[in-house]
Amino acid sequence: MSPLKANDKLIIIGGIIVLVVAVIGIALYVQPTPETPTPPPSNQGTDTYDVTWSERSGALQEISEFAGKKTPYEGNVKILVGNIKSITFNLSWIDDKAFLKRFGLDTLTIEITTPDGKTFTESAKSVPKTKAGNIAFTVDVNTNMPSNDPITATSQADAEQQIQDMLNNKWMNKEITVKISVKIGEIRILKKLLDKGNDFTLKVDYKYYKGSITPIDTNDENKPTSLDENWRATPFYSTSLIGRT
């Protein structure tokens, strides 16, 4: 066997060094502990909704009745929606007995008593020639529109319930008392005895606030939102009349 040359010795020594370093590296290697990712803030199960309130109008069925000089008309009305802003009463009539359409004209008075006990009274006299009369006035209930701030809800139904919870039910489905009386203007004795009163028509209009909700896509600001669910509180009305007395 021939002796190793110097170059061969160097190669062998280098290989041994590399092998030793590799063995030492394997012995010292410690597998790193995997990091547990931090979960993002949890809002699972909730959605955000834009809230929009708008002013709407409604009307009750007209009341056509008779007010007597000794027996005023008395009745009541109810508005069956929440968030009422205001109520307008419009009373109209035509004097049935007036000499030459100018003399002996009657005066009608309307008295409104609200559910919180306040009373509003207005009077007017029939107009010469036409013998027509009219009284119109508005009672404010709540002039502050609800907040348009977004809400967070677990479902569409939950969002709608929150809208309902915002309702101001101050006068909702509560009796508003109406009293209409007449003062006979006729001065001729016989005509005055024959003048029993006047027919009239009463219109009741109201304004209220209606809320609607729109889901907001919080994951993608550029993604259009196609849903637009309106709060399903259909305006409706009712009148409850005591009738002629």
> Residues 49-68: pLDDT tens digits?
998 899 999 999 999 999 98
Q: What is the mean pLDDT of residues 32-57?
A: 73
Which token pair is 64?
């056509």
Mean pLDDT of the chain: 77
Q: What is the pLDDT of residue 40?
A: 53
The encoded tokens of residue 183 equal 């003062």
User: Encoding tokens for residue 149?
Assistant: 């701030």
The whole-model pTM stands at 0.66
Reported as a single tens digit per residue, the pLDDT across 217-233 is 665 444 434 333 333 33
Structure tokens at 38: 């931090």
* Phi-psi region at 83: left, alpha or beta (left = phi > 0; alpha = psi -120 to 50): left
Q: Does residue 243 surpass a pLDDT of 90? A: no
The C-alpha atoms of residue 53 and residue 140 are separated, in whole angstroms, by 18
Residue 105 pLDDT class (50, 70, 90 cuts)? confident
pLDDT band at residue 18, thresholds of 50, 70 and 90? low
Q: Tell me the three state secondary structure of residue 13.
A: helix
For residues 79 and 171, the answer to whether their CB atoms sit within 8 Å is: yes
How is residue 137 annotated by DSSP? E
- Give residue 42's pLDDT band: very low, low, confident or very high (50, 70, 90): very low
Distance CA 67, CA 106 (A): 11
pLDDT tens figures, 134-159: 999 999 999 888 888 888 988 888 88
Three-state secondary structure call for residue 8? helix
CATH architecture, domain defined by 55-144+171-209+234-240: Sandwich (2.60)
Residues 6+ apart with CB under 8 A from 196: 68, 69
Domain layout of the chain by residue ranges: 55-144+171-209+234-240
